[in-house]
Amino acid sequence: MKIVCLPGDGVGPEVMDVARRALNALAPDLELEEHVFGASAIRSAGNPLPEETLTACRRADAVLKGPIGDPEFDAAPVRPEQGLLRLRGELDVYANLRPAVQGAVDLLIVRELVGGLYFGVSGVREDGTAFDTCEYTPAQVERVARRAFELARTRRQHVTSVDKANVLETSRLWRRVVNEVARDYDDVVLEHMLVDNAAMQLASSPERFDVLVTENMFGDILSDLAAAMTGGLGLAPSASLGDIGAGLFEPVHGSAPDIAGHGIVNPAAMLRSTALLLEHGFGRTTEARTLEEAVDAALAAAPTRDLGGDATTKAFGAAVLAGC
Ligand code: NAD
Ligand code: IPM
Ligand code: MN
């Protein structure tokens, strides 16, 4: 069994180091193989997702990814983010699970990950006009909706489908298809909510949500908001799953260039993503629980700076490893 590790950029290598140690302690039989990806791969290979890296990811049983992105390439023709979108698309990991849990809040955002504005035709015309287009096929909506309903069955049987059906044609399609899928799940309660209202309700009463399902860009924005409501980006993990092949596991946060290299990044989001990898990628529920509990204990004993503490990444990592 093989895991491809992509440390990525900025704080990526710092959080990947802790994750690798935890995996070595909890599941020493899983083979870890490292490949370049993101800004570092543009520098060394001229491509954020070199062919060897993509081939290795396709052959792996799971991919563990650190954040990518570097201000150096903000205005460059080739950007690290393009490699990430290509990887998600090539692996066809259409369902991006972003749980947010703290106190009375226990919600799961299921974000469509390989369609919509991120993958539509875009460009700049001669007159300077820029455009991005949003497209969804009924099949793209159906498969992610089905995944959301299946997950709701294992939770509190409630799905909130988030769209902008009062304005967007793609959202009206979204709503129609979600309603059709809902007929197969009469044990699950479905509500529709417009995205602006969803943002307001996530900020004012996040505990009212169970599963949210939404398109790519709405899910991107709402998942940072959900993270902020439940302890911050330092804690928020994600799992991206398709129907076959390797799943992709990565924190919700980015490369945090403002704190990279200082040894103070919170590795909890990366470690929780590693727990999702153990559970969803390998069915190792026991090891996943052990890791989650070790992270919770470290959060109480050695909180990092984003949480108001003063523990370094190293000290937090040591506290986690003590529980593995
Ligand atoms: P960011 O998530 O990197 O950082 C936002 C803020 O949160 C910063 O102040 C940062 O220090 C803080 N933060 C984030 N993660 C933290 C952690 N684990 N511990 C402590 N503090 C943490 O967002 P940004 O600054 O908008 O983006 C920076 C780069 O990351 C951009 O190039 C962007 O494209 C990229 N990005 C990549 C991913 C990914 O690889 N999946 C996700 C988001 C952003
Ligand atoms: C995320 C990130 C990415 C996204 C960027 C870096 C392309 O913000 O994983 O949330 O928007 O999907
Ligand atoms: Mn994001």
Give the number of the ligand closest to the Cα of residue 39.
1
**Strand partners of residue 64:** 5, 249
> CA torsion angle for 266, 269, 274, 276 (degrees, to 10)?
160
| CA of 187 relative to ligand 3 center, distance in Å | 32
- Lateral strand order in the sheet of 31-34: 31-34, 2-6, 62-65, 247-251, 237-241, 95-102, 105-112, 211-214, 158-163, 189-194
Give the number of the ligand closest to the Cα of residue 73: 1
Ligand 2 pocket, residue 293 CB under 6 Å: no
Q: What is the DSSP letter of 311?
A: B
Tell me 95's DSSP state. Answer: E
Which atom, in ligand 2's list, is nearest to the CA of 216? 12
d(CA 207, CA 223): 15
- Other CB atoms within 10 A of residue 76 CB: 11
Q: Which ligand is nearest to the CA of 117?
A: 2
Q: What is the atom index within ligand 2 of the atom nearest the CA of 113?
A: 12
Q: What is the pTM of this model?
A: 0.98
Structural domains of the chain sorted by starting position, each given as residue range(s) with its CATH number in brackets: 1-93+242-324 (3.40.718.10), 98-232 (3.40.718.10)
Neighbour count for residue 77 (Cβ, 10 Å)? 6
Centre of ligand 3 from the C-alpha of residue 186, in Å: 32
Spacing, Cα 29 to ligand 2 middle (Å) = 31
DSSP β-ladder status, 237-241 and 211-214: unpaired
Instruction: Write the DSSP string, 26-86.
Output: H-TTSEEEE---THHHHHHHSSSS-HHHHHHHHHSSEEEE-----GGGTTSSS-HHHHHHH
Between the CA of 219 and the centroid of ligand 3 the distance, in Å, is: 8
Of all ligands present, the nearest one to the C-alpha of 69 is: 1
Ligand 2 contacts CB of residue 84 (under 6 A): yes
Rounded CA gap, 162 and 141, in Å?
12
Nearest CA to ligand 2 atom 8: 220
For the CA atoms of 274, 276, 281, 283, the dihedral, rounded to the nearest 10 degrees, stands at: 110
Catalytic residue among 118, 136, 185, 210: 118
243 catalytic? Reply is no
What is the CA 64 to chain-centroid distance, rounded?
11
β-bridge pairing 2-6 and 62-65:
parallel
Q: Which helix (H) or strand (E) holds 237?
A: strand 237-241
Which residues of the chain are modeled with pLDDT < 50? none
What phi-psi label fits residue 129: left (phi over 0), alpha (psi between -120 and 50 degrees) or beta?
A: beta
* 271, two tokens: 């470690």
Structure tokens given for 150: 């299946």
Alpha-carbon distance 232 to 299, whole Å?
12
Kindly report the number of other CB atoms within 10 A of residue 244's CB atom: 6
For residues 26 and 287, the answer to whether their CB atoms sit within 8 Å is: yes
Catalytic residue among 164, 185, 210, 306: 164
Instruction: Identify the residues whose C-beta falls under 6 Å from ligand 1.
Output: 67-69, 81, 84, 233-234, 250, 253-259, 265-266, 269, 306
Q: Which of 2, 224, 296, 314 is catalytic?
A: 224
Q: Which ligand 2 atom is nearest residue 88's CA?
A: 12
Instruction: Specify the pLDDT at position 141.
Output: 99
Task: Specify the pairing of strand 189-194 against strand 158-163.
Answer: parallel
Select from 63, 118, 217, 233 the residue to mutate for testing ligand 1; criterion: most ligand atoms less than 8 Å from CB.
Answer: 233
Q: Tell which one of 79, 81, 118 to mutate to probe ligand 2, the residue whose CB is within 8 A of the most ligand atoms.
A: 81
- Known active-site residue 220: yes
231 CA from centroid of ligand 1 (Å): 15
Q: What is the pLDDT of residue 122?
A: 97
